[in-house]
Structure 1
Amino acid sequence: MAPEVLSGEYGAEADVWSLGVVLYVLLSGTPPFWGADDNAVFRAVLDAPLDLTSGAWAGVSAEAKGLLRCMLHRDPRRRPSAAKLLSHPWILVHAFGGRVVRRAVVATSPRRMGGDAAVPLSA
């Protein structure tokens, strides 16, 4: 859960945080923030340093770690947009085989979009 979600005021930047959490788990096998109970996890999200140095990170590239630092920045204004993520060097190589994505489409709830479930990512 993004730090700003805990305060109740959040936007699309919280989705980038959530993607960062998923990527962190995929690359390390552990969650970025944890605790004995929900409150401890929430405190960790707000205050604990991001660990990208333990043994699980030994084989992870500096580009991937840099991407995670951006995605999991506590200040939502300093996180990249979803569109900006698609042009990150690590994403280009590992998600798209080095091909540049010119126009991506992202699915969203048909109810929120008035029936059309796909909108341009640049929108």
Structure 2
Amino acid sequence: MTFIITKGGGLLETGAKEIPLEFNKENLKLLLDKLISNDTTYTHQDFSNWASKFHMFCIDSFDKGKPVDDNLEELLNDIDAQWSLFLFNSYKVEQLLKLDLSTVKLPSDLLTKWQTILHGL
């Protein structure tokens, strides 16, 4: 579960498990609560990738003229961005190429911040 350098020098994340849950606020709450309590088989990588796909789903819905919760979309954007920022601020590219991303854990203060925001939406 590492990165692959793509043609042109980009990095492609590999190895995350799919989370087969519908994209909605309740499932985001469920996943985040379980992640915080360590009551899940999903990794922080799995969660972050699911949130990223949920974020893309929101953008696509907006583009199609469907209503989107702006606060939820902003939270999903933050989760997506913070995963990448955490990886690139914590590890050198050479390390990322060898790192098992399923072992990476986001800072607990970020998780609880998102939980607080989410439960307020």
Normalization by structure 1: what TM-score? 0.28
Instruction: Give the number of the structure whose alpha-carbon radius of gyration is greater.
Output: 1
Larger % of helix: which? Answer: 2
Normalization by structure 2: what TM-score? 0.28
